[in-house]
Amino acid sequence: MLVNRYLLRRGKFASTIGALMLCASGCAPSGDETRVQGAKATEVGGAKATVMGGAKATEVGGAKATEANANKTGVKTLDVKDLLVLVDKTLEFNRDSRLLSVERNAAWQVAHGAVAYGEDLKLVVGDQTLDALDYLFSGGEMRGWELTAGDTLPSTGRPSVNAYVEAGSYVGQGHVDQFLGYLSQTGLPRTTQVKVGDQSVTIEDWARTAQYQVPNNPYREYSWTLIALTNYFPDEVTWKGADGKDWTLEPIVEFEAKQDIGNSPCGGMHRLMGLAHSVRYWKKRGEGFRGGWALAQNTVQDAIATCRKFQNSDGTFSANYTVRPGTSSDLSTRIGTTGHTLEFLAYALEPKELQEEWVGRSVRRLCELLDVASEVELECGGLYHGLAGLRIYRERVSESLAGGGQQ
């Protein structure tokens, strides 16, 4: 019998505060050594960030974006193709200028960066700049990257993969299946090899373990599990769990849809992403929305309507997510809340809906805010979820413009 792979890790890292500081200081523009020496410290929304003294904002889309002129810019002046050019420049700038480091960062930041950049994410290791995922998958060491090979899976005869959970961590995996859920959005094939100790396992081994261990989830939180299972096993409906029972996704989806979205992590946007993945998975099956599936679909549609209703006049989304309207003077908060919300919408909306003016305004505004923050260290979670939203938006709109259907 497989042991429960979900272990709450205590005392391994200095403190939650230390982890938060690592996260906040982790996503800095490149050229950090030069930037820190003689740098001017400025308060950004109450959190001290390090900025180059007198640094000029990067030009994005052919015009310098500043707080002064950004509010005057409306998406109506751009067509969708122009907006895609702006998105490309924003993604490229943040990929190339914000480099993660194995010395300074942790696996939590890499996993988030992978959602935005997949195999293109870079990692500084010593005096080399490497492909971040290749480094980890080939056995590279990094704080928070804790995988072990476990007992044999009954369904495949292959080893299981234990991915340890430190609830709420900003160093290691903070939620069940968080890393796997993020990796499932990168397009990595299930056959991808991952070195774990002296063994070589695959992404599929990891995903099959997540599937098998659904009954043993001690936190009753399935957001990232749903993302992983719908991405890696889109044609499967039932499987045998560790409790010996036959499982389907519907009871998990129904459970998630009944939770308090507003009190969930990051305003419920991760829970909504899990539900949005599930709704798309079920829609492709063409079996109709009833029971838990209907509840999930209604939850997603209600959230979309609320995000639009609470959208701020400048294009940002509410700093209070779907709870109530609101904005923030904190630049990092505005990027984080708008970025998380855009990521959900970019996946949940239909391609034609993504081309509507209200969505375009949020895309434009997020690009402008990221440009304003081009010399500022940002919290990695909000940063990379926002960049992931831009990536998903670009991919789905581009495919739609090319006549690629409704994915």
pLDDT of 167 > 80? The answer is yes
**What pLDDT does residue 163 have?**
95
- What are 150's two structure tokens? 């476990």
In a domain, 367, yes or no: no
Nearest to 223 by CA among 257, 262, 188, 172: 257
In a domain, 153, yes or no: yes
Report residue 271's pLDDT band, with 50, 70 and 90 as the boundaries: very high
In a domain, 186, yes or no: yes
Nearest to 256 by CA among 231, 229, 306, 220: 220
Nearest to 98 by CA among 382, 303, 299, 305: 382
- What are 208's two structure tokens? 């099959």
Q: How far apart are CA 250 and CA 107, in angstroms?
A: 31
**What pLDDT does residue 7 have?**
39
In a domain, 50, yes or no: no
According to DSSP, residue 249 is labeled S
Chain centroid to Cα 70, Å, comes to 26
Report residue 168's pLDDT band, with 50, 70 and 90 as the boundaries: confident
Q: How far apart are CA 78 and CA 363, in angstroms?
A: 12
Mean pLDDT computed over 325-347 = 97
Parent domain of 204: 1-28+101-221
Q: How many domains does the chain have?
A: 1
In a domain, 61, yes or no: no
DSSP string, 385-400: HHHHHHHHHHHHHHHH
In a domain, 96, yes or no: no
pLDDT digits (tens, 9 = 90+) for 15-51: 333 333 333 344 767 643 323 222 222 323 332 222 2
Mean pLDDT computed over 149-174 = 95
**What pLDDT does residue 406 have?**
54
pLDDT averaged over every residue in the chain: 85
- Distances in Å between the Cα of 264 and the Cα atoms of 166, 212, 269, 381 are 17, 25, 8, 15
Question: Which 3 state secondary structure label does DSSP give 199?
Answer: strand
The secondary structure of the chain in percent helix, strand, coil, rounded to multiples of 5, reads 50, 15, 40
- What are 203's two structure tokens? 């992404």
In a domain, 365, yes or no: no
pTM, full prediction: 0.84
**What pLDDT does residue 403 have?**
84
Report residue 53's pLDDT band, with 50, 70 and 90 as the boundaries: very low
pLDDT digits (tens, 9 = 90+) for 350-373: 999 999 999 999 999 999 999 999
In a domain, 210, yes or no: yes
pLDDT digits (tens, 9 = 90+) for 74-131: 444 458 999 999 999 999 999 999 999 999 999 999 999 999 999 999 999 999 999 9
